[in-house]
């Protein structure tokens, strides 16, 4: 059985969606970030970057942190048909490229932008806000280009590229982020992914 250390966050939801897509049983172990559980020694011994998600696969004995690495592990171990990550060829690398892009660009930038938007007035730094907002506009344009010509998914077929992006872009849509709602292909993609039963289950797994 896989133990997933997590909580109700965008990065953890990527993993619960993948687990649900592949019908993998898992035990959700709540890490209370506001209580600082992620900085306790027992957790740091497994996840030195003090962040969720982290999985511990009791079958293989393998532990993995970083959502993109976790999805790659789940696909390699439990997805013989390549449902969320093709085994070889262009489709595999397009999916990995999309997953790395999310982890390197979309996640950090939207995360910092959200930190600024939700900061107390005295902690807001206008130059930072401007920087992250401008980059968020550029990044949503990249996603829109990935969907150009009415492509239904970010990397050809449905894949870990879509799973990595969905919880973040759904949160941005819920906030009515202007640069996003002006991009109809991107909004249609969010709605399309959100219709998948496994995605709906995964989004709710930690409440």
Ligand X SMILES: N[C@@H](CCC(=O)N[C@@H](CS)C(=O)NCC(=O)O)C(=O)O
Which residues contact ligand X (rule: CB under 6 A)? 9-11, 33, 38, 50-53, 66-67, 103, 107
Give the residue with the Cβ less far from ligand X, 98 or 107.
107
Instruction: Give the nearest distance from C-beta 149 to ligand X in angstroms.
Output: 29
Give the residue with the Cβ less far from ligand X, 104 or 188.
104
d(CA 133, CA 195) in angstroms, rounded, equals 29
Give the residue with the Cβ less far from ligand X, 9 or 77.
9
Measure the CA dihedral 33/196/77/94, to 10°: -100
Instruction: Give the nearest distance from C-beta 112 to ligand X in angstroms.
Output: 11
Instruction: Give the nearest distance from C-beta 184 to ligand X in angstroms.
Output: 28
d(CA 71, CA 45) in angstroms, rounded, equals 21
Instruction: Give the nearest distance from C-beta 201 to ligand X in angstroms.
Output: 19
Give the residue with the Cβ less far from ligand X, 126 or 202.
202
């Amino acid at each position: 059985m896989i133990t997933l250390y997590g909580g109700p966050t965008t990065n953890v939801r990527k993993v619960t969606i993948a687990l649900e897509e592949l019908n993998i049983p898992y035990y959700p172990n709540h890490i209370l970030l506001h209580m600082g559980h992620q900085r306790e020694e027992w957790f740091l011994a497994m996840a030195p970057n003090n962040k969720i998600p982290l999985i511990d696969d009791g079958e293989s004995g393998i532990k993995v942190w970083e959502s993109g690495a976790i999805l790659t592990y789940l696909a390699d171990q439990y997805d013989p048909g390549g449902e969320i990550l093709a085994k070889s060829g262009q489709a595999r690398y397009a999916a990995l490229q999309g997953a790395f892009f999310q982890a390197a660009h979309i996640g950090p930038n939207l995360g910092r932008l959200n930190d600024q938007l939700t900061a107390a007035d005295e902690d807001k730094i206008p130059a930072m806000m401007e920087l992250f907002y401008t980059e968020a506009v550029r990044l949503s344009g990249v996603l829109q280009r990935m969907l150009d010509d009415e492509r239904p998914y970010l990397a050809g077929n449905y894949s870990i590229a879509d799973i990595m992006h969905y919880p973040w872009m759904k949160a941005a849509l819920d906030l009515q982020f202007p640069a996003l709602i002006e991009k109809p292909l991107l909004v249609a993609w969010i709605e399309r992914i959100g219709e998948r039963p496994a995605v709906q289950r995964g989004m709710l797994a930690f409440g």
